[in-house]
Structure 1
């Protein structure tokens, strides 16, 4: 039945054994574990955990970047019934202290010396031991834990493994939300395995023949379920980081990976920047091909002339893009935030399927996704509900979800659990519409605000539309209680540099460029162009350009890259106040 997460490893061992089940770069070389090696190490770590007294139901923290050891320990915990509690490597000391105490963690793993220090400080006064994935002074290593393995207890391990059920808790993930204290989402094995099986059925990924890159944080259920999906389909997993992505693409030549929109945006920025290095005819051809890619609609038939132009653009330019991504990349799953349609179209034009989906930790995590076929994809939507998942809209447009993937509840939070699962449906907090079965997210219920004129504004739908501009990277719409809406905008500097070069505008820094009257005028034209698509009360009347992109490390974005609006509003308070210090423009 494969209704326990660790079953997928044994499924691969039985049907699709690989020499590169799990791989990671060590210096200049890739360390590869076969499926057989992976099973052996997972069992040894399980025995080591049993040897130090870890039992079913015990909570164990993992704080590390993506690596082989993360997945090995995760699988080892699963098959003895222990409960993993992942921590984002970027989490603050205060958050770590709260999570470790709230979850009553009995053991912790650290992926680096800095994370070991953070855990040590967060566990101050606790007897909870810490093990390191790498050699760390004063910290026992994973090899020492494996040395605790007692082979005489193999039969006992088999008995424990056989006793784990689909209803047993798989993990507790503390969601780093955009507001308030994190909540511990309790997911059981059924939640996660149902997601893996439904995604595999939806995508139809070829079994036993693919390679995948894993670089999103394993502390988030999106990538963690993704690794299990790869195991289930007999796909080799190569661990990397966003920083080493270019190198990994060239060396691994992956067929697939999961990404957040920001990763694709960085690829787009590099492609746009490439135009500035070209001259004459080459540059004109490149920009012509880029325009074709940005307007490509995979589900739409091309005219004979359009097909000829597209074939020429693919031969001259798109094929080079595909080669730069390893040459064998075919499928990308995208989630966590809204993907700009131009980015999806660009990858489709280059021969790479981009399936934008929708989910949340409470749904383990996938709720819907676009099909992999060009005929059925609808760019700009988050696709259709996964097999076995039901979606309906509440009277106010909130998306409600029901299915085997929906969480058990929030750890130690019965009132919040009852509120989130009222009526047997998961209340997502997202507002959306369903068009012919395809879901389109329009906003977050709690992020809607009212102007002083009594008009409601849904900021996310405006932000997503304005981000279709080639010159806007990040945007946050503000105006709660004010007469009109305004926006904080982080420009797409790579594109602006190209524009400045074309228009003979000189500058010495991005900061100076962002203040140039011609640039301000350009962004103003872009805003007015998109304003025409909204009601008059939704128009962006003023804007301020922010010179530094918002990021996770400074707390302006959640680890899932969603805007932390309160943090940004506080840090940009002077800009917001200046936009409302003078009368509304005509």
Structure 2
């Protein structure tokens, strides 16, 4: 059966796998599951209910919710009638909701929790936008009301609408997370995403029809959304995590073969593991760090000799087996994307027999441009994998990555002038700097817009430097500054768990985060950390001064995008005084 529209995946899944668990969510402490046939029935009824509500082809409908099966139900139900979904991050402000509602001419919005409903209600005030909720909330229509309306609908009417939907039709507008100002509405077609899921299926090293995925990255982001379509196409059961706080418990419960993540979460996992290592005593502690150091030296496609292999095998039995158990014990593949993965993390996870595969892409490319083949022979640490089929990449004279292929967006909604700025002669200008190796292995070196020049005329690429400094167990977050100044400097948010361990080891009384970042002995320790890591960079790149901050940057406080990228302009604005002090 050929997939010509994304909603064709449901009948394909029924015909090919007839999965007992297509989707699952935790309800009242128990997993509620939906089979392939349940999935189709709910989506069809919802499509018919939306038709009864007056939703027409081309109408825009927002989805604002944490991950749950209802998200998928609405997404696919809208596709079947030719309506256009407008997914939005639950964590953004009511003002952002209002901007997107207005810009996209949204007619209806599905919301998740009470908190999201209150923000959406504020944003929709004075408009005719109808709100429906996935949770049963006072003052809001429940989504099942529409689904129940559809039971009495005419399936022939739905089939007629489905037949009118073509592969090159737009099915969604995704508003970018806005690291550079107001979000832009990326228009994607069925072809864009179908190309992607078919292009990555051979990079997935999990058994079809027999595997489980745990989903926790936001479905409103194209990375997790395309990933979910790929899982559906491969008959992989998707379980939605209850929350980030319960992620560890859900991994042990579900024992998935695969999940998608961002490097920031892998960094947190690694830091927690290392922090627990420091808590060990005597021989156990020695064994832990012996194994860790072996893992950090791992080279996937290079033999390091019999003695190293023997030691690593022992380390895997004694130490790394516990790491795998913490991830459920069945992991065959972790897909990492949205930002750069520290090479040392890739090494240690592969050494621990936890395959982590990097990919690269943007919302505008649906998203995948390149991704790793998840085998020891093919993985290339420090690269974001091989180009996927039918996608062309060329490197511009200034190092910018240009992309052409069936995955490239239609353009930015109602902003043709912005579209013309980034798609020139069919080539999408990514804004990323990179290089190609062996013809089709891609390496990202920085963001073009994030590079800056010092007063001495030297260019600084902050992202790889920040990744290197975050290798310190004492550094949680860092931003390198210095545009137009005579040297680079940094704002640093300590890893407070790592700092507590250091203080415990050195018999330094730990009072509060606020007090500790101002203590001279702590500042001196960070100075030594900076000096050690500075050695990896040229003299013009080395951090000369820094300031420690007592509060981590977050999504809700505005310094990070929902995919954990730094909002540099926001940080520069919020911490202008601290940055100014670095140059006095």
Same fold (TM over 0.5): yes
Deviations 1:34-57 (A, max 9, x none): 111111001010010011111111
- TM-aligned CA deviation for residue 560 of structure 1: 1.8
Give distance in 2, aligned partners of 1:384 and 1:365. 14
Q: Does 1:364 align with 2:366?
A: yes
> Which shows bigger deviation, 537-546 or 397-406?
537-546
1:411-450 matched pairs, under 5 angstroms:
411-436=413-438, 437-450=440-453
Give distance in 2, aligned partners of 1:296 and 1:177. 37
Residues 206 and 332, structure 2, Cα contact 8 Å, conserved in 1: no
Give the secondary-structure state (helix, strand or coil) at the position aligned to 1:543: strand
Give the secondary-structure state (helix, strand or coil) at the position aligned to 1:9: helix
Give distance in 2, aligned partners of 1:205 and 1:30. 22
Query: Which residue number in structure 2 is paired with residue 584 of structure 1?
Result: none
Match of 1:293 among 292, 295, 309: 295
Deviations 1:257-302 (A, max 9, x none): 0001121122112211212432211121112222222332222213
Query: Which residue number in structure 1 is paired with residue 583 of structure 2?
Result: 580
Change (3 A) 1:173 1:69: same
Give the secondary-structure state (helix, strand or coil) at the position aligned to 2:188: strand
Residues 545 and 582, structure 2, Cα contact 8 Å, conserved in 1: yes
Q: Does 1:11 align with 2:12?
A: yes
- TM-aligned CA deviation for residue 249 of structure 1: 0.6
Give distance in 2, aligned partners of 1:125 and 1:509. 46
Match of 1:312 among 295, 311, 314: 314
1:457-496 matched pairs, under 5 angstroms:
457-496=460-499
What 5-or-longer segments of structure 2 have no aligned partner?
Answer: none
1:36-435 matched pairs, under 5 angstroms:
36-149=37-150, 151-240=152-241, 241-435=243-437
RMSD: 1.5
1:454-533 matched pairs, under 5 angstroms:
454-533=457-536
> Which shows bigger deviation, 492-501 or 62-71?
492-501
Give distance in 2, aligned partners of 1:375 and 1:137. 56
- TM-aligned CA deviation for residue 138 of structure 1: 1.3
> Which shows bigger deviation, 201-210 or 47-56?
201-210
Give the secondary-structure state (helix, strand or coil) at the position aligned to 1:536: coil
Deviations 1:415-463 (A, max 9, x none): 0001111121110001112222322211111112222222222222322
Residues 202 and 371, structure 1, Cα contact 8 Å, conserved in 2: yes
Deviations 1:153-181 (A, max 9, x none): 10111121122111111100011121211
Give the secondary-structure state (helix, strand or coil) at the position aligned to 1:148: helix
Residues 112 and 132, structure 1, Cα contact 8 Å, conserved in 2: yes
Give distance in 2, aligned partners of 1:501 and 1:290. 21
Residues 214 and 258, structure 1, Cα contact 8 Å, conserved in 2: yes
Give the secondary-structure state (helix, strand or coil) at the position aligned to 1:258: strand
Change (3 A) 1:471 1:152: closer
Give the secondary-structure state (helix, strand or coil) at the position aligned to 1:149: helix
> Which shows bigger deviation, 324-333 or 461-470?
461-470
Give distance in 1, aligned partners of 2:328 and 2:395. 41
The number of equivalent residue pairs is 581
Query: Which residue number in structure 1 is paired with residue 36 of structure 2?
Result: 35
Change (3 A) 1:370 1:551: same
Residues 86 and 173, structure 1, Cα contact 8 Å, conserved in 2: yes
Deviations 1:499-556 (A, max 9, x none): 3333333322333433343433333233233333333222211111222221111000
Give distance in 2, aligned partners of 1:569 and 1:472. 19
Residues 339 and 356, structure 1, Cα contact 8 Å, conserved in 2: yes
Give distance in 2, aligned partners of 1:456 and 1:264. 29
Match of 2:557 among 554, 557, 567: 554
- TM-aligned CA deviation for residue 77 of structure 1: 0.7
Residues 553 and 560, structure 2, Cα contact 8 Å, conserved in 1: yes
Deviations 1:33-91 (A, max 9, x none): 01111110010100100111111111000110001100111111111111000110011
What TM-score, normalized by structure 1, do the two folds share? 0.96
Residues 3 and 194, structure 1, Cα contact 8 Å, conserved in 2: no
What 5-or-longer segments of structure 1 have no aligned partner?
Answer: 582-586
Give the secondary-structure state (helix, strand or coil) at the position aligned to 1:185: strand
Change (3 A) 1:538 1:288: same
Give distance in 2, aligned partners of 1:284 and 1:531. 28
Give the secondary-structure state (helix, strand or coil) at the position aligned to 1:288: helix
Give distance in 2, aligned partners of 1:528 and 1:543. 11
Give distance in 2, aligned partners of 1:58 and 1:129. 13
Give distance in 1, aligned partners of 2:198 and 2:446. 29
Residues 206 and 258, structure 2, Cα contact 8 Å, conserved in 1: no
Give distance in 2, aligned partners of 1:246 and 1:451. 43
Give distance in 2, aligned partners of 1:151 and 1:541. 70
Deviations 1:94-150 (A, max 9, x none): 111010011001111010122112111111111121111110111111111112215
> Which shows bigger deviation, 463-472 or 421-430?
463-472
